[in-house]
Structure 1
Amino acid sequence: MLLAVLLAGLCCTGASRSAAEPSLDLWTDPDSRAASQSAEWRSEGRTADATLMDRIADRPQAEWLNGPNPGPIVRARTTAAAHAGRLAVLVAYYIPNRDCGLYSVGGAPTAANYRAWVDQFAAGLGDRGAYVIVEPDAVAQVVAGCTRVAATERYALLAYAVDRFERQPHTHVYLDAGNSAWIPEAWRLVAALKSAGVARADGVSLNVSNFQTNAASSTYGDRLSKDLGGKHYVIDTSRNGNGPNPGATGTAAWCNPPGRALGTPPTIRTGNALLDAYLWIKRPGESDGTCRGGPAAGQWWPTYALELARNAATGTAS
């Protein structure tokens, strides 16, 4: 309960957190795929490649919870982070009919299963705290026209997740709101986000698994914030160092596009009062799906990771 001691006496609701709360740094997993890859290459004499891979391995990245029984993993990650005096970043990604049947298809089989899964996730958090990203793409896909889901049920499930996670002390909850290129008119998301419980969240997450620049994402976030009564936001900067793939549309724009780079390293010090953090939510080097010769979505792809790290030498996320 180390983090509980560090944060003793602070209020535990998103609406009540303020600048008075200590700004704990983000936790880096010493056993990440990137760290293992770096160690393997170094042992093989690939020192230059291992050094490039360290650009990923040495940075905090999110842990995606996308299968049954999330409690033990959530507990392990938050406990390790608490012992280091830091906060883990976690992604809840198990909504029924996930990804509208695309590369990351899956999720809970029923609404009841999802609620039970959320309860297990929340129990795993305990009082240690974390940044929790709630269901990337789940709102934006409905607004964009996904017909595989009933909007009312999905929004109710998302609201349940937001409310349940916010009950855990020191947990920072961000409901995903897509990216600035997907639904350019930010106002189109407002009603859906409100139905999905954003009023009780700390804010929204933007650019998850995408490549939009910090400037585009913060402009978009500021617009959403204005329409959502001042809600804050976080931006995924894991792969936006060179911005989006020029001229690409559809799958080519978001599925393992070439020439991309690592973006701004994760930090809670952003210089923007509405922007709570730059986070590496998508784990750099994990495939977007079986395109451009990549493995299945979420699988480690070291050649793509190396490209992102190499390009980061000259990349910019401004």
Structure 2
Amino acid sequence: MKYSFGLVALAAFATAAPTEVEKEAAKIAPRAACTTAVKLAAGSNPFSGKKFYANEYYAGEVAAAAAQMSDSSMAAKAAKVGQVGSFLWIDTIARVPLVADTLSKVACGEIAQIVVYDLPGRDCAAKASNGELAVGEISRYKSEYIDPIAAAIKANPNVAVALLIEPDSLPNLVTNANLTTCQASKSGYEEGVAYALKTLNLPNVAMYIDAGHGGWLGWDANLKPGAEGIAKVYKAAGSPKQVFGFATNVAGWNAFQQTPGEFSTATDAKYNKCQDEKRYVNAFAPLLKTAGMPNHAIVDTGRNAVTGLRLAWGDWCNVIGAGFGVRPTTTTNDALVDAFVWGKPGGESDGVSDPDADRYDSFCGHEDAFKPSPQAGQWNQAYFEQLLANAKPPF
């Protein structure tokens, strides 16, 4: 999604009075967790034999969206989206309590999925998803963000948890090192990710470190530096055994397998052999292994059902015509891919399209970006309905 620009992400949510979505989610009673501690063995597929937990925050958003639909058949299809297991983004300190709340509702046989996403100077190459912590606030990141997340997971040892670690961060240090914002964020990114990996290295946890996608680190010149940069931080954390590998296409649009590739006819295509995420995983994984790190992957298929929509590979914001992709599954037909997952909650905006708005990023004003769109992370009803209408397989 980027190699010299910002990747889509989620922004801060309001944290005052509970929203209608949160009230709806709170109505659902907790289910029984396992009676014994969960241990996710290094080298195994942590998703195997488990149901992908459908977190109730997103389910509440989807229920509210379905209630707005006058077409009963579309509303029925929308309701099914809320039953799909997707990742819950913890993108502010104020949202950290959602971790404990979520884990209390996960049944035995399910696996919770959480995105860890609040580094100081977050998303240094974009504007739409800049975070709450300023460059240098690494102590707050550790004590107010990572430590409480770890405490919540420790308090729920009988729940399996998959963690997607800090989208955008380490790939930005490879491809956007010329930006002063990324230069300023570098030490905090590396220290923060290493601290997260070390602190969250718990027996019931499987961690995957974000590695961009084929259109970002898949370029010939980026593959090896990208793998070595991620492995460097992994080793700085003490090579924690609960790191299972890397995540690709998070909040992205790339097909998992497509021949020829979506951008295979571009003038610079000869410099990128990773024309889909399958080719990217199979090019990146051996380099990670050589660098001394576990190399299995998870791939986000949440919004990649329709390709050929972007005018350029780098267009990442609310792409017009997109659809929900393959549902989360461990049937990937690739030994290196543990699971297809829904990393991005479809319907939550990538960024605001109003050029006069705070945190406006020009990519959200591109011709292939959906308009109007609200601030990153806020619900976009019309866009959700588009994703639903274009879903493959359909709901």
Q: Distance in 1 between matches of 2:224 and 2:312?
A: 25
1:130-279 pair list within 5 angstroms: 130-145=161-176, 146-148=179-181, 149-166=184-201, 168-185=202-219, 186-197=223-234, 199-200=239-240, 201-215=243-257, 216-229=276-289, 231-243=295-307, 245-250=309-314, 253-279=315-341
Greater CA drift, 265-274 or 204-213: 265-274
Deviation at 1:22, TM superposition (A): 6.1
Deviation at 1:162, TM superposition (A): 1.3
CA deviations 1:18-47 (Å, max 9, x no partner) are 369963211113543112322x136xx431
Distance apart, 1:262 and its partner CA? 0.8
The AA in structure 2 aligned to 1:131 is A
* Structure richer in helix, relative to its length: 1
2:113 to 77, 81, 89: 89
- Contact 1:104–1:297 (CA<8 Å) still a contact in 2? yes
Larger deviation: 157-166 or 171-180? Answer: 157-166
Tell me if 1:64 matches 2:89: yes
Equivalent AA in structure 2 for residue 304 of structure 1? Y
User: Which secondary structure does the structure 2 equivalent of 1:254 belong to?
Assistant: coil
The CA deviation at 1:76 is 1.2
Q: Is the 8 A contact 1:157 1:196 kept in 2?
A: no
**What stretches of structure 2 of length at least 5 have no aligned partner?**
1-31, 258-275, 354-370
Contact 2:325 / 2:392 at 8 angstroms: preserved in 1? Answer: no
Q: Give the whole-Å Cα distance in 1 for the aligned partners of 2:390 and 2:45.
A: 35
Deviates more, 1:110-119 or 1:215-224: 215-224
For 1:192-234, what per-residue CA distance to the aligned partner results, in whole angstroms no more than 9, with x for missing partners?
A: 1012217532111100111011121121112111011151010
Native 8 Å contact 1:213 1:244 kept in 2: no
Q: Quote the Cα distance in structure 1 between the aligned partners of 2:62 and 2:120.
A: 30
Q: Report the secondary structure of 1:32's partner residue.
A: helix
Contact map agreement 1:237 1:279 (CA 8 A) in 2: yes
CA contact (8 A) 2:90 2:96 kept: no
Task: For residue 102 of structure 2, give the secondary structure of its aligned residue in structure 1.
Answer: helix
Aligned partners of 2:199, 2:308: CA distance in 1, in Å? Answer: 35
Aligned pairs (5 A) from 1:114-125: 114-116=141-143, 117-125=145-153
2:60 maps to 1:32: yes
Which ranges of structure 1 fall in alignment gaps of 5 or more residues? none
* 1:48 matches 2:73: yes
Contact 2:37 2:204 in 1 (8 A): no
**How far apart are 1:4 and its partner, in Å?**
5.7
What's the secondary structure of 2:170's corresponding residue?
helix
The worse-fitting range, judged by mean Cα deviation, of 207-216 and 223-232 is 223-232
Q: In the alignment, what sits opposite 1:23?
A: 49
Distance in 1 between the 2:37 and 2:210 partners? Answer: 28
Name the CA shift for 1:160/1:314 in 2 (closer, same or farther; >3 Å). Answer: closer
In structure 1, C-alpha distance between the alignment counterparts of 2:308 and 2:151, rounded to whole Å: 38
Distance 1:96 1:154 in 2: 7
- Paired with 2:99 and 2:142, the residues of 1 have a C-alpha distance of 16
Distance, in Å, in 1 between the alignment partners of 2:393 and 2:93 is 40
Query: 1:266, 1:277 within 8 Å by CA — same for their partners in 2?
Result: yes
Q: How far did 1:67 drift?
A: 0.9
Aligned equivalent of 1:99, options 123, 141, 164 = 123
CA RMSD of aligned residues (A): 2.3
| 2:193 alignment partner, SS class | helix
Name the % identity: 24
C-alpha contact 1:177 1:204 (8 A) present in aligned 2: yes
Aligned 8 A contact 1:41 1:47 in 2: no
Q: Is the 8 A contact 1:177 1:189 kept in 2?
A: yes
Greater relative CO (CA pairs within 8 A, separation 6+): 2
SS at match of 2:89: strand
Q: Deviations over 1:77-100 (max 9, x none)?
A: 12211x353111100110011111
Name the CA distance, whole Å, in 2 between partners of 1:136 and 1:21. Answer: 20
Mapped to 1, the partners of 2:287 and 2:48 lie a distance apart of: 28
What is the CA–CA distance in structure 2 between the aligned matches of 1:4 and 1:147, rounded to whole Å?
50
Q: 1:20 to 1:130 in 2, by over 3 A?
A: closer
Larger radius of gyration: 2
TM-score using structure 1 length: 0.87
How far, CA to CA, are the matches of 2:111 and 2:63 in structure 1? 19
Q: Equivalent residue of 1:64, what SS?
A: strand
